Amino acid sequence: MRATAALCTASAVLAAAIALESTARAQVPVSSPSNKHNLSVSGTGTVRSTGTTEICIFCHAPHNA
């Protein structure tokens, strides 16, 4: 019984570690000028601003962040 509980706990910890590690790798630094979410004047995409060089302003200002 104790061995089963220990195995379940170890399995849960391993599953949580794998899940957390995979989501951490999925995030890209948004402040990078080459990021696809860069909508400022320096952005590389077809949709971009003509008046600001701030990369984070488009997502954070509307949400008061």
pLDDT one-digit tens code per residue, 6-38: 888 988 888 887 776 655 555 556 667 777 778
Q: Collapsing DSSP states into helix, strand and coil, what is residue 44?
A: coil
Query: Model-level pTM?
Result: 0.41
Higher pLDDT: 63 or 7? It is: 7
**What are the angstrom distances between the C-alpha of 31 and each of 23, 25, 42, 53, 60?**
18, 16, 12, 11, 12
User: Do 55 and 31 form a contact (C-beta atoms < 8 A)?
Assistant: yes
Give the confidence band of 50 by pLDDT, cuts at 50, 70, 90: confident
The C-alpha angle with vertex 20 and arms to 19 and 26, in degrees rounded to 5, equals: 95
User: Nearest-CA neighbor of 56 among 32, 23, 26?
Assistant: 32
